[in-house]
Every structure is written in structure tokens, then in C-alpha cells.
Amino acid sequence: MDVTIVDYKSGNISSVINSFKEVAKGKVNIEVTSDLNKIKSSDKVVLPGQGSFKSCIDDLNSINGLTDTLSEFALNNKKPLLGICVGLQMFADVGYEEVETKGLGWISGKVSKINNQNGKYKLPHIGWNQINIIKESKIFKDIENNSHMYFVHSYEFVPNDKSVIAATTDYSSNIVCAIEKENIFGTQFHPEKSDKTGLNIIDNFLSL
């Protein structure tokens, strides 16, 4: 099985690469590339994202044909794709970090700043927080509810269709922290930084 981690130069993704290779144990071929043909022929794709919504979208768009290839992979060919952190946020129609920016438009919704209730909650939301699993998701197989995951973000994905929400976390309000829509999966937390439980989520994705 071939799994591609999309490297579009959006910050340091070494921990994502290391975690996937650790879980794959050589049984799964992990490629790190933005080569369109490699992505097209992959069985699964991982879309990481670090930095701002705008910078990640700009970096994706700077590689000719990449967003079209990813859309074809996820929407037309219905192959499993996992977005991590800003990788999940980019599924939205629009993001409001820095400046209004068009997203990939795969899952209708917006990415807006977490309401910190006039400074009562510190932003970014950083560190370990519990997740509340609200629907059975393939990536949460054998994951206990209220498990702790590692977060670093100031913006949240607000989908229009609440049925795609797989888990939330409580920080100032109920923040969407995982989604599943058919073959499209996303986590706002960083599974690659979330200890053994995070590695189990990666394993669940690779085992789909």
C-alpha cells in the first residue's frame, strides 16, 4: 500500500513523517512528496498543515495542479484522505485568518477565530485537552472517549453540516476537533504529537 504525505513546504512536518513511518513499520510505503503522479497513484493521502490558513492555501496553490489533483483524489476517486490541523481547516469553503481566503470547499463551512470570551481563554489553544467522541468514526476504532490529544491552534473549523463532526473538545466552547465525511477524515489536534493514542489513530487510518 502506498501512502503519500503531501509536502507543499508548509512548515516543519518531520514529526508527521516520523510518526507515520513508525506506525507503518515498513508494511506500508510512505512517500513524502508533492509530485502529482505519485499522489494520483497513492492509496491514501495525508494533508498536514502548519502556520496560518492563508499561508497553507497559498503554498498549496503555488504548486501547479496540486489542489485539482487532491480534489480529484478525495471527491472523485473517493480515496481516504486525512487532514491534520490546518490540513483539516482547508477542507472548508473559506477561512478568516489574516484575510478572507477561499478554502478547498470539500466540506461546506468556515474557519474562524476561537471566541476567547474577551481574553478569558488564552489563544492559541495549546497543549493537552480531552476529546468528546460524538460519532463512531473509523479513525477512532478502539480509542477511548475523553482521551487526551495535543492541540495548537487559534482558529476552528465550523462545518455547516453537523453530521460530519466526529469529535469535539471543550475550550471556551465546543470546538470541532475531528470530522469524518465518507472517505475524508480530519483532526484539529496533532495525532503525531499525541503519544500512543495519537499513533493508534494513525494506525487506524493506515488500516482503513
Catalytic (active-site) positions: 85, 190, 192
Whether omega for the bond prior to residue 124 falls within 30 degrees of 0, making it cis, is: yes
3-state secondary structure of 148: strand
| Longest CA–CA separation in the chain, Å | 49
User: How deeply is 146 buried, as exposed, middle or buried, from its count of CB atoms within 10 A (0-12, 13-18, 19+)?
Assistant: exposed
Give me the residues paired with residue 207 across strands.
none
Please tell me the distance from the alpha carbon of residue 37 to that of residue 123, in angstroms, as a whole number: 39
Q: Cell numbers at residue 101, please?
A: 481566503
